[in-house]
Structure 1
Amino acid sequence: MTETISSAANPLVKRMRLLADRRHRRREGAFVVEGGQPVWRAIEAGWEIEALVVAPELIGGPAAEMVAEQEARGTRVARLSRELFVRLSDRDGPSGLAAIVRGSVAGLETLAVGPESLFVALHDIGNPGNLGTVVRTADAVGASGVVLVGDTTDPFAPAAVKASMGSIFAVDVVHAPDLDAFFAWVERRGVRVLATSGRAEAAHWDSDYSTPAAVLMGSEGDGLPEGALGRADARVRIPMTGTAESLNLAVATGLVLYEARRHAVASAGDPEGR
């Protein structure tokens, strides 16, 4: 009979708690994913699963069947008591399924560029929920990758993974150490850069979205530095007519990405966006 883990002193439980820390995730090259859909997307995308973590009293239906299938294929399955899983979970009403997944952020040079490529570049952003939402939006719009520039938050932080709803496993997320490295890469690869600024003259719906292109977004508090705006091929703003001074970073990114998609669809002669 398979043992059910109920002690917080268990080595696997300790490992899951340690992986909540960014330094430990970097050192170990692993992170925790929770929820049926994100775990399934990790498996479907071929990411290495170190262990599936299950609370038998909570899990059921297709998720339980998926766990049984993966266990039959040789994947390690650890079973936790309901109480312990709830204590480890960062969700209200946890589903009873999590996974320890192996992965790390690749360098910028690993990112493939094609004639229709559209990228998102995020400079010094600090909110992991925003990052996860941007990754999810990039996935939805069919973007070719997300570039993290400079000192950004960790895409494998629990809040980022949760907000991405599994899209972290479908979109290439890479890192550039600074803006110089990013602009050197776009110049070598022939990628146009559209930088966002509230002071730009052109509205985002009037801009040239010729590909390959990268939409460059600044940090939540400070936006993009003047040096980055000056090196971009174009600067765009999102018009606002109310009293709000700014938009949430993830919302702003979504607006620009979908405008880029609209332009691409129009150029292809398909008004329905198929």
Structure 2
Amino acid sequence: MRSLADRRYRRREGALVVEGIGPVWQAVESEAQIEVLVVAPDLLGGSPAAAMVAEQERAGTPVARLTAELFSRLSGRDGPSGLAAVVRRRLCRLDDLDVTDSGVLVTLHEVANPGNVGTIIRTADAFGAAGVVLVGDGADPFSPQAVKASMGSLFSLPLVHESSLDAAFEWAEAANVMTVATSARAGTPLADAVLSTPVMIVLGSERTGLPTDALSRSTSAVRIPMLGRASSLNLAVAAGIILYEATRQLG
């Protein structure tokens, strides 16, 4: 478990660690490929998750039982629940995404904060997005921080990785998907934007935002008006506001 906290090891092994009753349960319900369930019976107690573990074991999933002390040493959390899983990483291709007429897709360009990545994945899942596209050398969505922040949505929402924004824009143009870039420099307030087709929301990194060519290539560029003294919003908060407006308009 501890070795999978290292990004290079996760890539090499093609696996990640999921910890907590809710996220592990969602991985099971999403039919993620679970290599092993790691359980501390003294911590898990008689919770419904214990019955789920027994059912998975009967179905052939390997189960490793640890003492509460050992599980706590391996855990990355304070007050661990006693349940974790080693799960195979799963990435899709852009062509695998099912973007319907009312679909919304989120693209993140070199977003560096894993907590933001995980929270945006969770928020996109809550709004019924078709998927999240991760572009460039940003935070690993399979890191412990991102997995924790996603609260299991990592397993119910398709994830795509592309090396450049060009690939995402080319796919959107071919699929007739509207692209909406977000920037404090954009002239159109979010409330004035008209979203009438499947839409790909494009968000830039926390520090530098989107490159200029991404703003010019997008169908539309929008900003969230700031009325108070704060000059910016947390990226995950901004993503939630834009996702709400997009789903409100597209129904």
Same fold (TM > 0.5): yes
User: Aligned partners of 1:261, 1:116: CA distance in 2, in Å?
Assistant: 8
User: Aligned partners of 2:51, 2:176: CA distance in 1, in Å?
Assistant: 47
Alignment of 1:249 with 2:235, yes or no, is yes
Show the 5 A alignment for 1:79-228.
79-228=65-214
Q: Gapped runs of 5+ residues in structure 2?
A: none
Paired residues in the alignment total: 250
Quote how far apart the aligned CAs of 1:34 are: 0.2
Amino acid at match of 2:31: G
Q: Which has the higher contact order (CA 8 A, sep 6+)?
A: 2
Amino acid at match of 2:13: E
Amino acid at match of 1:87: R
Alignment of 1:55 with 2:32, yes or no, is no
Q: Deviations over 1:68-125 (max 9, x none)?
A: 1111111100011111111111111110000000123233232233222210000000
User: Aligned partners of 1:134, 1:114: CA distance in 2, in Å?
Assistant: 20
**Which one of 210, 214, 222 corresponds to residue 236 of structure 1?**
222
Aligned residue for 2:42, secondary structure, equals coil
Amino acid at match of 2:8: R
Aligned residue for 2:142, secondary structure, equals coil
**Which one of 66, 69, 72 corresponds to residue 58 of structure 2?**
72
Q: Deviations over 1:19-39 (max 9, x none)?
A: 111111111111000001110
Q: Deviations over 1:179-225 (max 9, x none)?
A: 11111111111111000111212111111122211000000000001
- Greater mean deviation of Cα atoms: 247-256 or 145-154: 145-154
Aligned to 1:8: none
Larger radius of gyration: 1
User: Aligned partners of 1:169, 1:261: CA distance in 2, in Å?
Assistant: 21
User: Aligned partners of 2:218, 2:156: CA distance in 1, in Å?
Assistant: 28
User: Aligned partners of 2:5, 2:244: CA distance in 1, in Å?
Assistant: 33
User: Aligned partners of 2:151, 2:133: CA distance in 1, in Å?
Assistant: 19
User: Aligned partners of 1:114, 1:243: CA distance in 2, in Å?
Assistant: 39
Quote how far apart the aligned CAs of 1:144 are: 0.7
Amino acid at match of 1:173: L
Kept in 2, the 8 Å contact 1:26–1:104? The answer is no
Aligned to 1:26: 11
Aligned residue for 1:215, secondary structure, equals strand
User: Aligned partners of 1:179, 1:44: CA distance in 2, in Å?
Assistant: 32
Aligned residue for 1:132, secondary structure, equals helix
User: Aligned partners of 2:219, 2:178: CA distance in 1, in Å?
Assistant: 6
CA RMSD of aligned residues (A): 1.0
User: Aligned partners of 1:254, 1:192: CA distance in 2, in Å?
Assistant: 18
User: Aligned partners of 1:209, 1:131: CA distance in 2, in Å?
Assistant: 24
Kept in 1, the 8 Å contact 2:90–2:159? The answer is no
Q: Deviations over 1:17-69 (max 9, x none)?
A: 21111111111111000001110111111111100000111002101111111
- Greater mean deviation of Cα atoms: 86-95 or 120-129: 86-95
Alignment of 1:259 with 2:242, yes or no, is no
Q: Gapped runs of 5+ residues in structure 1?
A: 1-15, 266-274
Amino acid at match of 1:153: A
Kept in 1, the 8 Å contact 2:27–2:155? The answer is yes
TM-score w.r.t. length of structure 1: 0.89
